[in-house]
Amino acid sequence: MELDLRGNDPGDEGVRLLTDLTKNENSKLKTLRLSKSDAVEEAYATLTEDLGTNSLRLRERDLKRKIRGDSGVKQLSDLRRDSQCSTKIELRYRGQMKSTATSDQLQNVSKDFPNILNDIENKMIVFMKHELEIYKKLLRKENTAYHRKVKQIRWNLKQTVLKMTLDFLHLMNREDVASALQNELIGVIQRPLKEGMKNKYHHVCEGIAKQGESTSLNKIYTDLYITEGGAGHVNKEHEVRRIEKNQMLQDVQIECRNMFQLLPGQDGRIRTVLTQGVAGIGKSICVQKFILDWAEGEQHQDIQFIFPLPFWELNLKKGRYSLMDIISFFFPETQGLILTDQYKVMFIFDGVDECKIPLSFYKNESLENVCEAASLDVVITNLIKGNLLPSALIWITTRPAAASMIPAECVDRVSEVRGFNDQQKEEYFRKRISDQDLANKVIDHIRESRSLHIMCHIPVFCWISATVLQTILTETESEETPKTLTEMYTCFLIFQTVQGNKKYSGKNALDTSWDEGAILALSKLAFQQLEEHSLIFYEDDLKSYGIDTSEISVYSGLCTQETGRFLGTVFSFVHLSIQEFLAALFAYLSLRNDNRNVFKPWSTSQESKTTELIDFLKTAVDKALESEHGHLDLFLRFLLGLSLESNEKLLRGLLTQTGSSSDCRKEIVEYIKLKFKENPSPERSINLIYCLNELNDDSLVKEIRSYMSSGRLSEAELSPAQWSALVFVLLTSKEKLDVFDLKKFIRSDECLNRLLPVVQEATRALLSDCNLTEKSCSVLLKVLNSESSTLTLLDLSYNPIKDFGVELLSEGLKSSNCKLETLNLSSCSITENGYISLASALNPSSPLKELDLRGNDPGDTGVKIMTDFLQDTTYKLNLRLLNSSDAEEICTSLTKDLGENPLLLRELDLSGKIQGVSGMKQLSALLKDLHCRIKKLKLKNNNISEEGCAALSAALCSNPSHLIDLDLSENKLLTAGVKQFSAVLKNPQCQLQKLKLSCCSITEEGYVALASALKSNPFSLLTELDLRGNDPGETGVQLLSDLQNDPRSNLKRIFFFD
């Protein structure tokens, strides 16, 4: 059967039904004619055979390498003109087609150009009218679907039309309309983006997200203490120890909202900020508040788009993506947006410490196109480096240990979140606890316990304390409230268990109903995670420990979870300290319930329970002391605290066996005190004091406080344990440690070394006249090199530290961590080599503003080096070299008169320039100073009297080793003045070779004094003496002549007469 339908328009559905009919085996229709010519039908048949499907049914097909020769091109051209063909066919003249295309085919195609161009013109007009109509609606504030989902090619067209429109508006000088249009287009994307972020960040969930009770962030948010500056290298110390140290520091404070603003005196632009802080300190909350303020229109409205990209979610995103791909995936509201430098954009990378992407800043290729696909590593590093979107703002947060992952040259500002200061702690409790009387009770209780007060610098610990204390202080007397960390965390675990039972099991029992299996499993997980230094775990990890995710929900205050697009659900403990508490609980329960020592899993001890417990705790102490960076410090505190009877009673539902631990407590306390004799590091020693505190033993602290209150501390011979207790008392004192004065303690190298942790917390160290040697300089080098150092003033005057000590200090001055502004090294027995060491450490960018070197012996080179610094205007250094104000005053005056610093001169002519006794005293003060190295001095006609001569004589006796030629002619010295000056000539160290005393009214008695002085000094180097114009008398001439003729005398020439 044959059916001819040529010359009709069957539409897509008609073609589909008819072609399906021809395929049906039961159909009698064998021939179906739809095309106008045999050539077209042949083309259809050929394509169907080549493509394996009926070409009439296709809507789009790429025919590269499918068309062969001229006949193929002709068939394809016929096919395109057929009304039945709905296939989109692209003729791409490349490869084989390009080489075989004939001029006839090209001519045929060119005939279509006018029609094609007319068609394009019509489509462009329609499209542009459509876009311009949308712009009108936008400017009239009408709703429009400008950013509805369309194909990328259409987005390219929309962007082109927008650019043309803006360009025309600029040509028309309608910048106002151009700006308004751009703002409205940005607003179309901004509005849903901001709305989504408001919903996401408006509430803060304490515990597991979506299951813990959420609170309005704006209601509970308390400003955090954030400072400019931070570590420049990997910091591996325990984060709680870092908090205990940082709570004393005072640096330049930055408010969260001003993170990208320049401080007074700063210039340039802040593009990239790296904010670091320990776990739970408030970095993410700070970021959350910043974003919420933007989304709610409260702050940062100059920023058009903010894109937070957490590393924990990016880690497992494999493949190649462009920056726009990544943004579109995380923020679908931005579909179609192409970021350029015309937009002000911020990217927030929260949690570099969770990043598992290589971040190869120095190896990755350069990337500048936001639409070009690359690995995630390449995209992120180029964005941070500024190759991608150099106008964008970048905010990166991290824990201190991972800060070095971002190269320093890529960061414009380093800031550190230090948590709450004392005022902010109280503000948090008053916001968190609505009953203000109860809030005051909580604050008072926290103040009473120094260890709790210090820990409250961490916002998470404030939340834990508020959770526990507002419940306990409502129901019990204050004597029963937790006073140690172990008690606080034990009560917190009980509270979480009770709350979980109420919420998830419907139980409301007054006593704690423990789920021993779940707690033990969670504690075991915490212990393993602590051993592996791991912070994050997943559902598979929970399953491997037999924990169901629903059980985690019961303990929502202990764990937190995040659900992302790539990783599914990721879990972590709310804070590192909670992980360490649970790890300690696992270790303790394993011993008490199962007789298993987690530190010696292979042992099967048959000893008594008490002996086993003591050995177990001793092993824990030893292991914690072996840890270089103290990662077991807090674990040990908790473990020892759990061994107390009072805490065992709180955990009675978890312990299958209990017993008296009083004997154990006494023995472990003595063991810890013995450990001080092994001289552990200051950090470990302080932690041992904290351990004693958890064991309710404060005997060492009481001993030290007794010494301090009685004023006997400077006389005491302290044991290593007492030294550690002294450090602990000072560091945990409520008094600020801005000034450290060694005179209040013991003036020795050992005392300074023992109190190093205290010095590291001070901003001013007063160590003057404390019998310190170069040994102390090695201690101070550690302070200057420390990334947490805040020392700005160091006074080491009157200590014999010598050149080697200065060499050590100079190394500290070179450190990028050094913040020293004032250094006093007067009278420290420093010579030329010490000055050379100091010079090597000084540079124009050094923070050092004042350097005191008075009372040292610099040598010629030292004087030259330091006076060069005085003359160099690039150095903003106040350099003090001269011992007295008189010397400094005349040095300044002479520099002005002579045009040159007199300290640099070896010859100085001050004839007629020094007036009166006061002027002579000033000059003498200069000549007395070892920094003055004048060899030839003229003081003719200065009316120098007996008093002035006495001052000069005293100066030259004090500093006799430089002057070789002195002219005092034409002064009224008289005999009395010469007698004063004779003391100089008697000095064995006097270097004078020429002395002129002509016309000084000297009589015979004066000549006798001169002869006597020279005769008494066998080391005298004087070779020439000018006494013309005086009245020597016969005796005077005879005595000096005899001396001149003495072969043992160096005096060769004497001028008696004109």
Looking at residue 242, its pLDDT comes to 52
In sequence order, the β-bridge partners of residue 469 are: none
Is the separation of the CB atoms in 1007 and 1036 below 8 Å? Answer: yes
Please report the domains of the chain, with CATH numbers, ordered by start residue: 2-111 (no CATH), 128-196 (no CATH), 223-419 (3.40.50.300), 737-881 (3.80.10.10), 886-1055 (3.80.10.10)
Buried b (16+ CB within 10 A) or exposed e, 326-339: bbbebbebbbbbeb
For residue 567, the one-letter residue type is L
**Residue 176, pLDDT above cutoff 50:** yes
β strands within 400-549, DSSP E:
413-417, 536-538
Q: What percent of the chain has pLDDT over 70?
A: 78
Condensed to tens digits (0 to 9), the pLDDT of residues 186-223 reads 777 788 888 888 888 887 765 443 444 567 888 878 88
Nearest-5° angle of CA 464, CA 470, CA 471? 95
How far, in Å, CA of 59 to CA of 113, rounded?
A: 23
Is the separation of the CB atoms in 743 and 767 below 8 Å? Answer: no
**Residue 231, pLDDT above cutoff 60:** no
- Residue owning tokens 């059916």: 3
Looking at residue 968, its pLDDT comes to 94
Residue 44's pLDDT band (cuts 50, 70, 90): low
More confident residue, 103 or 1017: 1017
Contacts of 672 (CB under 8 A, 6+ apart): 621, 688, 691, 692, 695
Looking at residue 117, its pLDDT comes to 66
DSSP 409: G
More confident residue, 425 or 1058: 425
Residue 812's pLDDT band (cuts 50, 70, 90): very high
Residue 760 C-alpha from the chain's centroid? 18
Looking at every residue in the chain, the average pLDDT score rounds to 80
Of 619, 587, 602, the residue nearest 523 (C-alpha): 587
Residue 850's pLDDT band (cuts 50, 70, 90): very high
How many distinct helices (H) and strands (E) make up the chain? 42, 30
Condensed to tens digits (0 to 9), the pLDDT of residues 935-983 reads 999 999 988 888 899 999 999 998 888 899 999 999 988 889 999 999 9
Looking at residue 995, its pLDDT comes to 95
More confident residue, 640 or 206: 640
Give the mean pLDDT of 494-521: 66
In sequence order, the β-bridge partners of residue 348 are: 308, 395
Looking at residue 79, its pLDDT comes to 53
In sequence order, the β-bridge partners of residue 1026 are: 996, 1055
In sequence order, the β-bridge partners of residue 569 are: 563
Residue 410's pLDDT band (cuts 50, 70, 90): very high
Determine which of 136-150, 282-296, 431-445 has the lowest per-residue pLDDT on average.
136-150
Q: What is the CA radius of gyration of the chain?
A: 44
Is the separation of the CB atoms in 312 and 560 below 8 Å? Answer: no
- Residue owning tokens 């020769």: 69
How far, in Å, CA of 878 to CA of 850, rounded?
A: 5
At residue 214, φ and ψ (nearest 5 deg) are -95, 150
β strands within 351-452, DSSP E:
374-375, 393-398, 413-417
Looking at residue 88, its pLDDT comes to 44
> Residue 786: helix, strand or coil by DSSP?
coil
Of 535, 528, 570, the residue nearest 549 (C-alpha): 570
In sequence order, the β-bridge partners of residue 254 are: 226
Condensed to tens digits (0 to 9), the pLDDT of residues 894-933 reads 888 888 888 878 899 999 888 788 899 999 999 998 888 8
Residue 836's pLDDT band (cuts 50, 70, 90): very high
Residue 232's pLDDT band (cuts 50, 70, 90): very low
**Element (DSSP H or E) covering residue 432:** helix 422-432
Q: What percent of the chain has pLDDT over 90?
A: 30
Give the mean pLDDT of 132-154: 61
Is the separation of the CB atoms in 624 and 632 below 8 Å? Answer: yes
Q: Cα dist. 330→314, 323, 705 in Å?
A: 10, 11, 59
Residue 100's pLDDT band (cuts 50, 70, 90): very low
Contacts of 424 (CB under 8 A, 6+ apart): 222, 223, 224, 225
- Residue owning tokens 């840890």: 627
Q: Between β-strands 214-216 and 203-205, what pairing exists: parallel, antiparallel or unpaired?
A: antiparallel
Determine which of 10-14, 707-711, 1039-1043 has the lowest per-residue pLDDT on average.
10-14
For the CA atoms of 116, 122, 126, 131, what is the dihedral angle to 10 degrees?
Answer: 60
**Residue 25, pLDDT above cutoff 70:** no
